[in-house]
Structure 1
Amino acid sequence: MEGASFGAGGRAPPGPRELVFSIAVFGPIVNEGYVNADSGPELRCIFNGNAGACRFGVALGLGAFLACAAFLVLDVRFQQISSVRDRRRAVLLDLGFSGLWAFLWFVGFCFLTNQWQRTAPGPGTVQAGDAARAAIAFSFFSILSWVALTVKALQRFRLGTDMSLFATEQLGSGAGQAYPSYPVGSGVEGTETYQSPPFTETLETSPKGYQVPAY
């Protein structure tokens, strides 16, 4: 990655595809997910009358939509992040959120499918059946899409462990260069000019010119 892209090997963050899938989930539920009850004018959720199913589907799709928009902004500004620690946090955020939302999409798909199977046939089922089936179908597609994002984000994080992902252009241009040797006359002597340690002269057992007195 050169910093301009928020991924390795041409990988893109959650983007247009995930945006479309999220809209295709919460949009039909908001527009046609509530129908009139058979006993009166009160509106009830198309998914077996379970209001929690409709709320969960809307929250899941809307959360994915907002997250995709935020990640697109982060992708644009990623090159401007000079801190290695901040870049690592951004990649970890991408990895963690993608994994979490892949799991939530799986839960949502199972929940909506179960409630739809328990829904009794009626006028409301015929009226909003297409919307319910569309929400379930795109929940399934979202599972595959976000799992793929999670796998690619994990690969990208592993590439960053050797600092090739998180290094800035300045660090990358100077990597691998050897340290320059000390110039001659710099005041730092090499091993060739190393002198014997001081005070070695005092270790001589018979100093020059000294004679033992005779008694």
Structure 2
Amino acid sequence: MQGSAYGASLAGGTFDFLSFVKQPQTILRCLSWLFSIVVFATITSEGYVNKAKEQDGKCMFNENDQACNYGVGIGVLAFLACVVFFILDGYFPQISNAKERKYIVTADLVFSGAWTFLWFVCFCFLANQWSKTHSTAVMADAAQAVVVFSFFSIVTWALLTFFAFRRYRLGVSDFDQEYRDPTNDHAGPYPAGPHVSSGPTGYQQSPFSHNQETPGEYQPPAY
């Protein structure tokens, strides 16, 4: 069953949009995509406070610009990653190569796990800085929304990690035990060539004898 690894044997057919939308991974990616927009858009639009005597705005999280930069960076990268994995999820059922499927599933697992951890760090960092913020010019609703949706992002990306890990486990046993790449399979013997024979055919014996006659004694001519 060469095509069974990671569901490669089921590849083909038409794209079913309704089935794709109803998948748990698709719903979680939509939520993760929306949460990332809320985080980085809120920080970008309302996350910096301009004081009367200063031209440059300060981050609303305890005037720590690193907190705002971290939240924007994680949110933008999460937004782009969701778009990429949206496309891969839609194209995944059409892929018949088991190795390509394994690369996609592995990338999904690694990235989702990494972003679960990074969102956890973001939540803890922003919550800590917000607890130290005492400025009255800060919009509390915006800061609290960023912290809350950072926490929601932890949940959605953790669930995406779980589904990616489950899909990886379902395919890895079939891939390791049953999938064989014909170009890399050196276990079988090499086939014989089309023109191999046991020996030369149609060969005739050389007209020259291998046994040369020894010359006789020299006879001088008679005068």
The answer to whether 1:64 aligns with 2:64 is no
Letter in 2 for 1:138: F
Match in the other structure for 2:93 = 79
Match in the other structure for 1:12 = 25
User: Do the aligned partners of 2:49 and 2:59 also contact (CA within 8 Å) in 1?
Assistant: yes
Match in the other structure for 1:147 = 158
Once the two structures are TM-superposed, the CA of residue 120 in structure 1 deviates from its matched residue by 1.8
For 1:104-153, what per-residue CA distance to the aligned partner results, in whole angstroms no more than 9, with x for missing partners?
0000000001111111232x22xx22111100000000101111111111
Once the two structures are TM-superposed, the CA of residue 11 in structure 1 deviates from its matched residue by 4.0
For 1:10-32, what per-residue CA distance to the aligned partner results, in whole angstroms no more than 9, with x for missing partners?
44255211111111111110110
Classify the secondary structure of the residue corresponding to 2:169: helix
Q: Give, in whole Å, the separation in 2 of the partners of 1:50 and 1:121.
A: 12
For 1:163-208, what per-residue CA distance to the aligned partner results, in whole angstroms no more than 9, with x for missing partners?
28xx99xxxxxxxxxxxxxxxxxxxxxxxxxxxxxxxxxxxxxxxx
How many residues end up aligned between the 2 structures? 162
Q: Percent identical across equivalent pairs?
A: 44
For residues 100-111 of structure 1, what are the structure 2 equivalents within 5 Å? 100-111=114-125
Q: Give, in whole Å, the separation in 1 of the partners of 2:91 and 2:143.
A: 38
TM-score normalised to the size of structure 2? 0.66
Which blocks of at least 5 consecutive residues in structure 1 are unaligned?
A: 169-215
Q: Give, in whole Å, the separation in 2 of the partners of 1:135 and 1:84.
A: 40
For 1:65-120, what per-residue CA distance to the aligned partner results, in whole angstroms no more than 9, with x for missing partners?
10000001111211232221111010000000000000000000000011111112
Q: Which one scores higher on RCO, CA 8 angstroms, separation ≥ 6?
A: 2
Let me know the Cα RMSD of the aligned residues: 2.6
Match in the other structure for 1:188 = none
Classify the secondary structure of the residue corresponding to 1:121: coil
Classify the secondary structure of the residue corresponding to 1:161: helix
TM-score normalised to the size of structure 1? 0.69
Letter in 2 for 1:109: F
Match in the other structure for 2:126 = 112
Extract structure 1 runs of 4+ deviating beyond 3 A.
Answer: 1-7
